[in-house]
Amino acid sequence: MTARPVRDVAFVDGVRTPFGKAGDTGVYAQTRADDLVVAVIRELLRRHPELPPDRIDEVAIAATTQTGDQGLTIGRLAALLAGLPKTVPGFAIDRMCAGALTAVTTVAGGIAFGAYDVAIAGGVEHMGHHPMGEGIDPNPRIVAEKLVDPSALVMGSTAENLHDRFPGLTKERCDAFAAASQAKVAKAYADGNIQPDLVPIGARDPARGWGLVIRDEPPRPGTTVEDLATLKTPFRPHGRVTAGNSAGLNDGATGCLLAAEDVAVELGLPIRMRLVGYGFAGVDPELMGIGPIPSTERALRTAGLTIADIGLFEVNEAFAVQVLAFLEHFGLADDDPRVNLYGGAIAFGHPLASSGVRLMTQLARQFAEHPEVRYGLTAMCVGIGMGASVIWENPAWEGE
């Protein structure tokens, strides 16, 4: 048998809905989760008429809570609802916060192997319809046999644990990081760097009727460190984790087109990023936030790179303390300008399984603006004690 060559995988394009606040007053309170995914898929097809829909070989959509309007094998269902040919298969995937990221690496592996030429990957989370943990029944052995600390099941408590483990990561540092994230998002909007990736969504408000959602709902421009210092610490009396230095509860969907690089060239599809490598790692669940450290080390090791080779970072801001732990481990400053250039989830929001592709679309846009940068990283912590990291190469790189 002749060995198969491994094909290069291209990130063609990525889009997302504006993110909303979860709850009865959020912009998507009366919008179905699967309709958010449908809008994303249709927008990818609209932007790329050069791609025949029947050339799409797979649709992988992640959701952390796979029930209700996020259930019924949402990748396949959304493909049908979006009008893709019935010959296009689809599936659902779950790795909690890293769902969309895992959807990307899963279909990318199929592309590299030759099983697919073109695929759609993304994620959705409607936390207003499906609060985190809805319907779960944790095995009592988890606590009874002390497999994990009980705090491992409460993400905010794991962030407090991270403060305990690393006392130098103070609340003041976290609040400063959070305020900077809000400021960077406001600047990115003012500079027009966010709007091109957004899919306008028609949504109904019970009081005002139908409207068009064209911006993220969660950002709070003008937030100051002084504002954040006054917030309560809901996970522990006199704690350090607040609503202001954490991502909120949010609704939203993301999606991207991936293709074998030679197929992208054949079809005339753009190549915005090239996949270099990825890594997943497990850590103590009660210290979930350190997950991106070993996953990034693994990704760097398998790619033959070091942290010094990475010129741009998109690290998901589930909690400020988690990002600061990552930065400190790798010797990066809290305000390193290469990190989260457009801000992060503390301002944008974090609709769990969808967020990985948001990181990728923002990195792709930054690559185009920074041809001096060759490699970038998208990374995130993951519930139940994991980390996920993907390394990308900039096709616009002008080096040798």
- Residue identified by tokens 């943990």 is 133
Contacts (Cβ under 8 Å, ≥6 apart) of 382: 95, 96, 97, 98, 288, 291, 388
Contacts of 152 (CB under 8 A, 6+ apart): 158, 284, 285, 286, 288, 384, 385
381 is a catalytic site residue: yes
Choose the catalytic residue: 48, 97, 129, 256.
97
Per DSSP, 293 falls in state H
Q: Among this protein's residues, is 174 annotated catalytic?
A: no
**238 among known catalytic residues:** no
What is the β-pairing status of strands 386-393 and 375-382?
Answer: antiparallel
Beta bridge pairs of residue 379: 315, 389
Structure tokens at 22: 């979860």
- Measure the CA–CA gap between 158 and 206, rounded to whole angstroms: 37
What is the torsion angle, in degrees rounded to the nearest 10, for the CA atoms of residue 279, residue 284, residue 285 and residue 290? Answer: -60
Give residue 354's identity as a one-letter amino acid code.
S
Is residue 93 within 8 A of residue 99, CB to CB? The reply is yes
Rounded to the nearest 5°, which phi and psi values hold at 267? -90, -5
Nearest to 359 by CA among 391, 333, 337: 391
End-to-end CA distance of the chain, in Å?
37
Instruction: Assess contact for 381 and 322: CB atoms under 8 A.
Output: yes
269 vs 266: CA distance, rounded Å: 8
**156-159: long-range contacts (C-beta < 8 A, 24 or more apart)?**
156/234, 156/235, 156/241, 156/246, 156/319, 157/235, 157/236, 157/286, 158/285, 158/286, 158/287, 158/288, 158/289, 159/235, 159/241, 159/246, 159/289, 159/318, 159/319, 159/321, 159/322
Give ∠ CA 117-380-373 in degrees, rounded to 5.
70
Compute CA distances 50 → 45, 231, 266, whole Å: 9, 50, 10
Query: Which residues are marked as active site?
Result: 97, 350, 381
